Structure formats: C-alpha cells, structure tokens
C-alpha cells in the first residue's frame, strides 16, 4: 500500500510539474508576443473613433511593432483616450510630433494603432506625452462614398447607353457623321482644304521669316535704320527739314496766290489805270493818240534843237561843249591804255 501511495504521489508530482512547465512556457510565449516584460514608455492619444481597437492590440511605427494598447477610456461621448505602452528602446526613435491613427494588421486583420511621421529635430517621446491624432476615414464613410459613386456611375452608364443608341440611329450631328457617308466625305474634303491652307500658311511664314532675315542683313538700309542710331538721327533731321521746306513752300504758295489775286483785281478793276487800259477801248485809243502826239512833239523838238545849234548866238556854246566832250573821251582812252 505504501509503495502504491508513493507511486501515486510521484505521478501526481510529475503531472503538476509538466503543467507548471506548460504554464511557464505559455507565459513566456505570450510575453514574447506582447512584450510584457520589456521596459516601456507610456503615452496617450485622444481619438474621436477608435474603430474597434481593443486593449492588447499592437502599436506599429514604420512597419515595426513597438508596443501595445494598455487602456481605453471614454473622456466624452466623442473623445476616447487610448493609453499606449511603447518600448523604451524604440521610444528614442519616435519623435513627439508623430501622428497616431487607427489601422489594420493586413487587409482584414486585427485593428492596430499606427504611428507615422515625425521630425528629426524634435526630441523622442517621453512618459506622459500626448500624441497628435491623424484624421481617419471610417469604413462606413468609405462605403457611403462608394455607394454614392456607384449611383453616379449607374446614371452615367445610362446616359452613355442613350447617347450611343442615338448615335447608332443617326440622330444629332455625331450620329449623322457616323451614318451619313456624304457628310463624312464633305468633312474629309474640309480637312484636306485645311491641310492645304496650313501648308500655304507654313510657306508664307517661311517666306516672311526669310524676308525678315534679309532686312536684318548687315549693310542693308533697313538694318542700318534699326541698329545705327546715327543714320536714324540723320533721317529724322532730314524729315524735319523737309517738313520745314514744305511749310515754307506752303507759305510761298499762299503769298503768290494772294499776289495773283491782287494783280487780277488790279487788272480787272474798273478804276485802276491798268484795268482801264485793258478793259476800256476808248482809253486805249486816247493813249495811242497821246503817244503819237508825243512822238511828233519829240521830233519837232529835235529839229528846234538842231536849228538852235546853228544859230550864231548859241553856236559858241555848242562848240565848247563838243570840244569838252572830245577831250573827256580822249582822256578816258588814255587812262584805259595805261
């Protein structure tokens, strides 16, 4: 009996030992996954919606697990405080301006708190820090947006169906263009004409470019006018002089016009002597008679002078005058010869 009791005790002890070993191994395994025995820095983040995050979920930073969710507490109806345990060895790489947001571990995995961002010139997180929270779009909002987009897509598809049917039936300009061969041929001819016009325009542009290049050729008048300030200044002076000459010519023409007008008035005037001579026949006849009488009087006066020269009373006077004139003539000849 005693041996049987001892054997039972040994068996029970063996089972208890195995059970303890299993518990220890399980605790160590879970501790390795949750990192429960690692020194941690405790920080907080306040979310409007945690999206299903639970205590014990992982905290990731740049794709690396750096801690877990320690506690979730309601502050208000739309403010939820989440306490995070961050490994002390990783905390120095996570900066105070890092952003926290709710994410998923894979496509349909567990919810996690994902940390992202941070500046190198900002120190690392410490106990008691409150992290900033990035705004997330909830799955419900995503589904609502997708539903709205599906409705709009359905409406667009319906419109496209109606439009394609009208085109096939030949309705509208586009439908006629697709179904009417004559309209297509006219459009093709129009395109051909446009291509020819474009080709002509290109040649014209090339010609204008060549002409512009010839104008810029050194030594040409246009190039000198554009680049040589002296030539341009001389041209400007010449234009100014021509303008002055034109002004003077206009003034001369005006004066000549006034003089001609005055002369016409004098010639055609009834009271002017010239006008009387030109326009009054009797005055012309009287002038002719006066000139004829003057010629006769001059002839008689010459005869009287000739008779006076032969008069013995005046003969001496005319001889002295003749000698004096002859002497003056000879003196002038001698002076000319000297």
**Span 26-48, mean pLDDT?**
69
Mean pLDDT of the chain: 76
Q: What are phi and psi of 89, to 5 degrees?
A: -70, -25
Q: How sure is the predictor about 226, in pLDDT bands with cuts at 50, 70 and 90?
A: low
Q: How sure is the predictor about 310, in pLDDT bands with cuts at 50, 70 and 90?
A: low
Q: Which residues contact 133 (CB under 8 A, 6 or more apart)?
A: 45, 46, 47, 48, 99, 100, 101
Asked whether residue 284 carries a pLDDT value surpassing 80, the answer given is no
3-state helix, strand, coil in the chain (%, to 5): 65, 15, 20
Model pLDDT, residue 90: 87
- The percent of residues in the chain predicted with pLDDT above 90, rounded, is 11
Neighbours of 114 (CB within 10 A): 20
CA 48/CA 78 separation, integer angstroms: 5
pLDDT tens column, 321-338: 777 878 887 787 777 776
Asked whether residue 296 carries a pLDDT value surpassing 70, the answer given is yes
Residue that is written with structure tokens 């325009």 in the block: 201
Q: How sure is the predictor about 15, in pLDDT bands with cuts at 50, 70 and 90?
A: confident
42: Cα within 13 Å, side-chain hemisphere: 7
Alpha carbon separation from 138 to 49, 63, 132, 246, 305 (Å, rounded) = 8, 21, 18, 90, 151
pTM exceeds 0.85, yes or no: no
Model pLDDT, residue 31: 47
**Span 255-262, mean pLDDT?**
72
Model pLDDT, residue 33: 45
Asked whether residue 81 carries a pLDDT value surpassing 80, the answer given is yes
More confident call, 305 vs 116: 116
């Amino acid at each position: 009996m005693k041996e049987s009791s001892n054997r039972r005790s040994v068996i029970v002890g063996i089972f208890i030992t195995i059970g303890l070993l299993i518990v220890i191994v399980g605790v160590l395994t879970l501790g390795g996954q949750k990192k429960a025995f690692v020194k941690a820095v405790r920080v907080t983040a306040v979310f409007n919606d945690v999206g299903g995050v639970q205590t014990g979920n992982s905290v990731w930073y740049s794709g690396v697990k750096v801690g877990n969710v320690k506690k979730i507490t309601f502050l208000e109806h739309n403010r939820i405080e989440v306490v995070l345990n961050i490994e002390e060895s990783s905390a120095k790489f996570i900066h105070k301006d890092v952003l926290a947001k709710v994410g998923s571990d894979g496509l349909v995995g567990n919810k996690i708190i994902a940390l992202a961002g941070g500046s190198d010139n900002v120190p690392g997180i410490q106990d008691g820090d409150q992290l900033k929270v990035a705004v997330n779009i909830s799955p419900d909002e995503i589904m609502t947006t997708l539903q709205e987009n599906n409705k709009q897509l359905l409406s667009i598809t319906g419109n496209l169906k109606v439009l394609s049917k009208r085109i096939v039936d030949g309705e509208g300009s586009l439908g006629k263009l697709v179904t009417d061969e004559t309209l297509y041929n006219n459009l093709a001819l129009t395109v051909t004409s446009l291509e020819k016009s474009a080709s002509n325009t290109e040649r014209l542009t090339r010609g204008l470019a060549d002409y512009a290049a010839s104008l810029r050729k050194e030594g040409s008048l246009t190039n000198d006018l554009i680049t040589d300030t002296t030539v341009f200044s001389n041209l400007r002076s010449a234009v100014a002089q021509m303008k002055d000459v034109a002004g003077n010519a206009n003034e001369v023409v005006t004066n000549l016009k006034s003089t001609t007008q005055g002369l016409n008035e004098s010639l055609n005037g009834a009271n002017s002597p010239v006008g009387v001579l030109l326009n009054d026949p009797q005055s012309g006849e009287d002038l002719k008679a006066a000139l004829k009488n003057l010629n006769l009087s001059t002839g008689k006066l010459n005869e009287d002078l000739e008779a006076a020269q032969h008069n013995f009373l005046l003969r001496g006077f005319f001889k002295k005058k003749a000698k004096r004139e002859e002497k003056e003539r000879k003196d002038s000849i001698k002076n000319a010869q000297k």
